[in-house]
A and B are shown apart, each in its own frame.
Chain A
Amino acid sequence: MARRVPLFLKRRSYRRRRLRDAARLLPVFGGFFFLLPILWAPEQSPKPDTAPDGVYLFVVWFLLILAAAALAPGLDGGSDDDDSGT
């Protein structure tokens, strides 16, 4: 059933929609960075990898947490308009 949704939105609603897009994208980026060590194949490289790889993973982890914390307040209480429309 075709509900009537405005085709274009005001600046604030538009921002909020894009914020949601960012929130949806975040785990995708996170997944990529977490899976990246597979491509490094640490057991085949000659040098010891545990310490640098561990640092890498924790840094990515920390940045993801920061990003999620930055996004979360904007996503709260955004239920005044529904998900339809763009």
Chain B
Amino acid sequence: MTAGPDTGMPFNILVLTCVTYVALLFLVAFVAERRAGIGRARWLRSPAVYTLSLSVYCTAWTFYGAVGYAARSGLEFLTIYLGPTLVFIGWWWVLRKLVRIGRKQRVTSIADLISSRFGKSNLLGVIVTLMAVVAMTPYIALQLQSVTQSFGVFASGTPEGWALPNRDATAIWVAAGLALFSILFGTRKLDAKEQHHGVVTAIAVEAVVKLVALLAVGSFVVWGLADGPSDIFRRISQSTLADWQLQPDRWFGLMFVSAAAVISLPRMFHVMVVEGGDEAHLGRASWAFPAYLMLMSLFIIPIAVMGLERMPTGANPDMFVLTLPLHEGQGALAMLAFLGGFSSATSMVIVEAIALATMVSNHVVMPVWLRLRPDVAMTGDVRGVVLMARRVSIIAILALGYGYYRLSGGSAALASIGLIAFVGAAQVLPAMLGGIFWRGASRFGAALGLIVGLTVWAYTLFLPSFGNDGMIPAHVFAHGPFGIGWLRPQALFGVSGMDPLVHAIVWSMVLNASAFALGSIFSFPGPVERMQGAAFVNVFDEDQTGPQGWARGKAEPETLLMMAGRILGEEAALAFFEAEARRQGKAGFLPDATPEFVELLERRLAGSVGAATAHAMISQIVGRAAVTVEELMAVANETAQIMEYSARLEAQQDELTRTARQLREANEKLTQLSIQKDAFLSQISHELRTPMTSIRAFSEILTEGDLPPTMVAQYGRIIHDEAIRLTRLLDDLLDLSVLENGTVQLNLGLANVQTLLDKALAAAGSTRPERSFTILRDLPSENIFVRTDADRLLQVFINLISNARKYCDNPDPELKIAVRQRAGRVSVDFIDNGSGIPKESQAIIFEKFARLSDQSRAGGAGLGLAICREVMANLGGSVSYLPGQGGAAFRATLPLRLDRKVA
């Protein structure tokens, strides 16, 4: 193909090195598998290995092709790396959610993700699988081609002339070796969450090899052939690449499509989500993987420039990475570059084959097989069947890739297949992003979008890639099918003059996304779909109390165990069932087949055979998924009710706290009242006993007779006085109780305050008549008529004046009476010039039997002020002590007009 290397190494050594390298990879995989088997594989799960395994993004197409791409279009090749960089540094948007969903739902492939999200629909699984196989087969062929080509580069100069006649043989040997490796290390485990340590480790090693190879060639170019970076800059500016064509539509479109591809390519999804990255790994990869990509592309332009400068005209720039060192006589470096390219190709093919085989076995083979032999889930060895299906699928996929390579004959059409495959993979993007961010995305919409996207992609990009008159006749290109001009494959809807690739990206993505959105909006999702939708979109909500899809108690745990054993293997199934039984608090191996358990089991099985197949198998035993839309609603209502109920409970609790506080206060009051009552009773007894004692004593003396009449008269008078005192006391008590009960009869009428005061002063004059009081009054202000019970009010006035007469301790006693009228109320103050009432006693003087001084001096029962207070309350007013008046001061207030209602 290229000018023969004069100092290249013998072809035999190349073959030997290559075989040694492959053997080394097998050994690495084998050792990793062994170490993982004995549980010493911690470093195998490190973020570094995870990041390196992501490098399957860089295939032989990017390893060799990037230089050719750069030689043709300058910096445009960078878009293929810049897009993924944006996705990874923005991992918090999409990747994190994808990885979390993948772990929670035990997703086995990108087809499984779509199928599981949209109601475990197998139809969607089949569509995505089909799409992936169609898009990826040429891509695999491209890898085979590049390996064969790179062999050819070495072989063309050898005397044997081995390369060209045996190109197909090279390809078939490579394909067979890759199939063997994939089968050996890629189908050991069934469960999605069991890592294929061997594969991942081998890929990590290959990632290092290709990076080192490219960096070595680049360093050789920059420091070996050129004089360091500044010299390279000078050479770039003098080369044909000095200026570059930036086509805005391609620049943006390619960046977009590579960003989409990095999450939706089956192999990328496989290493990123399925092979078990967790969020910590992803966080590290978020910068480490872009760094890897940056290093991979760092020397592309220098290599391209130096190749264009040094290689003979007509040399294939796609092979510069290899031919440039050979041309410069660096055989060992060329060998390293060859191994780098070989690594890029093989790691891509291995992972792609495993990912595709998982899809094919889970979404095509298993459903068909279960349909054909429904009883086999219980009796047959499902595990063996699935693994066999995967092995056969790997062989079939590689055979397809090889067949495609043979058919296309290593044409130039293959070179562009990388981007075409990217656009094909990107068709999954709307359904995927819609599925994880939009609850309303439905199965119908997803299927519609995928089919539309696949069709448009095939029609505008994939089929035309076979060349004019290849798959699509030339007249269709020129005039459209049946002469319909606006359906021309590369000028859809009359959009001509656009770059064909961007044209295909725009139309496939727009039509795909629109069909998806409209289909979702106008369809109604089934119950399983809605459950899965909620589980996917709200994957970060920890407390998911979603409805259970399975009816209670319809399944025999033993049957479930048998079936699980067929898929997971006897030991694993037993261990799983035992753990679940223990969690339910049961001994033994059989947990109750609660809906929760069946759901968990389904998810576990989904990790092996995919969500749709697992769902189908469980329904064979449990019966159709029991959940209906009505039940979903019921659960939602239940949740809402529970929340409302708890809110109500909270309100009730607040109320209870309040009530408890009120009760406590009431209790304290009652206790106090009880104490008061006791005190009152003992007071009463005391008050009643004193007069009774003297009455009894004197009446005893009288009954003995023989008493002079004067004595009889005197004793009789004493008895009479004491009886009056008793009566008065009882009257007061009766009065008080009547007043307190509020049952008192009021005789309302008009009364003049001045008249009442005159009467009260006259009446109170009998109290300690020996004292002469100075009474200070302001007669005009007293001339107020009030509507009230005059007798009761008079009683209060008398009491207050008597009190002053009794207790005022000033040698020149004075009593000031002030009457004021304000805002419909009248207040009457009685202020004497005595020493007043001490502050601490002011609060209790209105209590019953409250007497400050000793009894003899008072000569009353201590009910006076208590009665006053009650009377005033009954009259709609009050009586209170006025502090700070220079003596004892009381204020009685009452309304100007008392309505009966108030009383």
Chain B, residue nearest A73 (CB): B283
Question: Roughly how many angstroms separate A57 CA and B252 CA in the complex, as a whole number?
Answer: 14
Question: Among the listed A27, A35, A45, A73, which residue makes an inter-chain contact with B90, where contact means beta carbons less than 8 Å apart?
Answer: A27
Kindly supply a per-residue 1/0 record for chain B positions 261-294, scoring 1 wherever the CB is within 8 Å of any chain A CB and 0 otherwise. Answer: 0000000000000000001100110111011001
Least distance between A78 CB and chain B CB atoms (Å): 9
Known contacts: A65-B290, A75-B283, A82-B540. The answer to whether A34 contacts B243 by CB under 8 A is no
With A and B bound together, what is the CA distance between A23 and B301 in angstroms? 31
Please tell me if the beta carbons of A42 and B246 are within 8 angstroms of each other in the complex: yes
Whether a CB of chain A sits under 8 angstroms from the CB of B241 is yes
Asked if residues B279 and A51 are in contact (CB atoms below 8 Å), the reply is no
The reply to whether A76 and B241 contact each other, CB–CB distance below 8 Å, is no
The answer to whether A50 and B291 touch (CB under 8 A), given A30-B85, A75-B92, is no
Q: Mark A30-64, 1 if CB is under 8 A from B, else 0.
A: 11001101101111010011110110011001101
Given the contacts A62-B294, A68-B89, A82-B542, A57 and B286 also touching, CB distance less than 8 Å: no
User: Contacting B301 at CB < 8 Å: which of A38, A48, A50, A76?
Assistant: A50
Per the bound structure, the CA–CA distance linking A40 and B75 in Å amounts to 14
Say yes or no: is B233 at the interface (Cβ < 8 Å to chain A): yes
> Contact mask B244-263 → A, CB, 8 Å, 1/0?
11101001100100000000
Across-interface contacts of A41 in B (CB, < 8 A): 246
- Asked if B640 is at the interface (CB within 8 A of a chain A CB), the reply is yes
Cα A75 to Cα B286 in complex, Å, equals 11
> In the assembly, what is the distance between CA of A76 and CA of B47, in Å?
13
Residue of chain B at shortest CB distance from A20: B92
Contact A26:B233 (CB < 8 A) given known A48-B242, A68-B290: no
* Least CB separation from A37: chain B residue: B246
Of B233, B244, B248, which is within 8 A of A49 by CB?
B244
Query: A76 touching B280 by the CB < 8 A rule?
Result: yes
Q: Is the CB of A30 within 8 A of B86?
A: yes
Query: Per-residue CB proximity of B832-862 to A under 8 Å, as 1/0?
Result: 0000000000000000000000000000000
Determine the distance from Cα of A18 to Cα of B294 in the docked complex, in whole angstroms. Answer: 28
A53 and B290 contact, Cβ closer than 8 Å, known pairs A1-B640, A76-B283: no
Q: Is A9 an interface residue (CB 8 A)?
A: no
Contact check, A53 vs B75: say whether CB atoms are below 8 A apart: yes
Q: Known contacts A38-B248, A54-B301; decide if A48 and B92 are in contact (CB<8 Å).
A: no
Q: In the complex the two chains form, is B284's CB within 8 Å of A72's CB?
A: yes
Among residues of A, the one whose C-beta sits closest to the C-beta of B90 is A27
CB 8 Å contact bits of B527-547 with A (1 = contact, 0 = none): 000000000000011100000
Q: Is the CB of B92 within 8 A of A50?
A: no
Grouping DSSP codes into helix (H, G, I), strand (E, B) and loop, the B interface class, with mixed when no group exceeds half, is helix
Give CA–CA (A74, B886) in the complex, Å: 76
A69 within 8 A of B: yes
Number of interface residues of A (CB under 8 A): 42
| Interface residue? B298 (CB, 8 A) | yes
Write the nearest CB–CB distance from B163 to chain A, whole angstroms.
34
Do residues A67 and B86 form an inter-chain contact, with CB atoms below 8 A? no
Q: Are B236 and A83 in contact (CB under 8 A)?
A: no
Q: Within 8 Å of chain A (Cβ to Cβ): is B724? A: no
- Is the Cβ of B291 less than 8 Å from the Cβ of A43? no
* Contact residue among B245, B255, B279, B643 (Cβ-Cβ distance under 8 Å from A79): B279
Contact across chains for B85 and A61 when beta carbons are under 8 A apart:
yes
CB of B298 within 8 A of CB of A27, answer no
Task: Find chain B residues with CB under 8 A from A73 CB.
Answer: 283
Closest residue of chain A to B285 (Cβ to Cβ) is A72
Alpha-carbon distance A75/B291, docked complex (angstroms): 19
Residue of B88, B540, B541, B643 touching A68 (CB-CB under 8 A): B88
CA distance A62 to B294 in the complex (A): 8
Given the contacts A43-B245, A54-B75, A65 and B86 also touching, CB distance less than 8 Å: no
Contacts of A20 in B (CB 8 A): 92
Residues facing A in B421-478 (CB within 8 A) are: none
* Interface presence of B331 (CB below 8 A): no
Cα A66 to Cα B294 in complex, Å, equals 12
Is B246 in contact with A26, judged by CB distance below 8 angstroms?
A: no
**Contact between A51 and B294 (Cβ–Cβ < 8 Å)?**
no
Contacts of A79 in B (CB 8 A): 279, 540
Q: List which A1-23 residues lie within 8 A (CB) of chain B.
A: 1, 20, 23
A68 proximity list for chain B (CB < 8 A): 88-89, 286-287, 290
Residue of A26, A38, A83 touching B251 (CB-CB under 8 A): A38
Contact A61 B82 (CB under 8 A): yes
Complex CA distance for A68 and B244, rounded to whole angstroms: 30
Q: Report the minimal beta-carbon distance from B228 to chain A, rounded to whole angstroms.
A: 14
Contact of A64 among B85, B251, B542 (CB under 8 A): B85
CA distance A49 to B108 in the complex (A): 46
Q: Which of A1, A24, A62 contacts B93 (CB 8 A)?
A: A24
Residues of B within 8 A of A34 (CB): 82, 86, 255
In the bound complex, CA of A30 to CA of B90 (Å): 9
Question: Which A residues lie within 8 Å of B541 (CB)?
Answer: 82
| CB within 8 Å for A58 and B89 given contacts A1-B643, A64-B290, A65-B287 | no
B residues less than 8 Å from A45 (CB atoms):
243
Chain B, Cβ-Cβ closest to A22: B92
Per-residue interface assignment for chain B, residues 787 to 805, with 1 indicating a CB less than 8 Å from any chain A CB and 0 otherwise: 0000000000000000000
- Residues of chain A within 8 A of B590, CB atoms compared: none
Which of B75, B89, B92, B233 is close to A65, meaning CB atoms less than 8 Å apart? B89
A58 contacts B298, CB within 8 Å? Answer: yes
Shortest Cβ distance from residue A83 to the other chain B in the assembled complex, whole angstroms: 6
Q: Which residues of A contact B540 (CB under 8 A)?
A: 79, 82-83
**CB nearest neighbor in A for B294:** A61
A37 to chain B, nearest CB (A): 6
Interface residues in B590-643 (C-beta closer than 8 Å to A): 639-640, 643
Is A51 in contact with B236, judged by CB distance below 8 angstroms? Answer: yes
Whether A48 lies near B283 (C-beta < 8 A) is: no
Residue of B nearest to A66 (CB): B287
Interface centre among A38, A40, A51 (most CB of B within 10 A): A51
A4 smallest CB distance to B (angstroms): 10
Q: A58-B294, A68-B290, A79-B279 are in contact. Are A27 and B236 (CB under 8 A)?
A: no
B322 within 8 Å of A (CB atoms): no
Question: A38 and B287 in contact (CB under 8 A), knowing A1-B643, A54-B301?
Answer: no
Measured CA separation A35–B246 after assembly (Å): 11
In the assembled complex, B74 has its CB within 8 A of some CB on chain A = yes
B78 within 8 Å of A by Cβ?
Answer: yes
Question: How far, in angstroms, from A35 to B355 measured CA to CA in the complex?
Answer: 33
- 6 more contacts with CB within 8 A, not counting A38-B252, A58-B298, A69-B288, are A37-B251, A38-B248, A43-B244, A49-B244, A50-B236, A61-B85
Q: Which residues in B have some Cβ–Cβ distance to A below 8 Å? A: 74-75, 78, 82, 85-93, 233, 236-237, 241-246, 248, 251-252, 255, 279-280, 283-284, 286-288, 290-291, 294, 298, 301, 540-542, 639-640, 643
User: Can you sample 11 A-B contacts with CB below 8 Å?
Assistant: A43-B245, A50-B236, A50-B244, A53-B75, A54-B78, A54-B301, A61-B82, A65-B89, A69-B287, A76-B279, A76-B280
The 5 closest A-B pairs by CB, nearest first: A27-B90, A48-B242, A68-B287, A69-B287, A68-B89
Which residues of A are interface residues toward B (Cβ below 8 A)? Answer: 1, 20, 23-24, 26-28, 30-31, 34-35, 37-38, 40-43, 45, 48-51, 53-54, 57-58, 61-62, 64-69, 72-73, 75-77, 79, 82-83
